[in-house]
Amino acid sequence: MLNKWTGIGHLGADVEIRTFQNGGRVANLRLACTETWKDKQGQQQERTEWVSVAIFSEGLVSVAERFLKKGSKVYLEGKLQTRKWQDQSGNDRYKTEVVLQGFDCKLIMLDGKQERGGYQDKALQGPQGGAQAGGFDADLPFAAEKRI
Give me the tens of pLDDT residue by residue for the chain, a chain 148 residues long.
Answer: 899 999 999 999 999 999 999 999 999 999 999 999 999 999 999 999 999 999 999 999 999 999 999 999 999 999 999 999 999 999 999 999 999 998 889 999 998 755 444 444 433 333 333 333 333 343 444 444 444 4
What is the domain-level CATH number for residue 52? 2.40.50.140
Q: Rg for the chain (alpha carbons), in Å?
A: 17
DSSP-assigned letter for residue 130: -
What is the number of domains present in the chain? 1
Burial bucket for residue 63 (CB in 10 Å: 0-12, 13-18, 19+): buried
Determine the Cα–Cα distance for residues 144 and 126; give it in Å rounded to an integer: 10
Which residues contact residue 121 at a Cβ distance below 8 angstroms, ignoring those fewer than 6 apart? 108, 109, 110, 111, 112
Residue range of the domain that includes 33:
5-144
Determine the Cα–Cα distance for residues 60 and 134; give it in Å rounded to an integer: 19
Quick check: pTM over 0.85?
A: no
CB 38 within 8 Å of CB 46: no
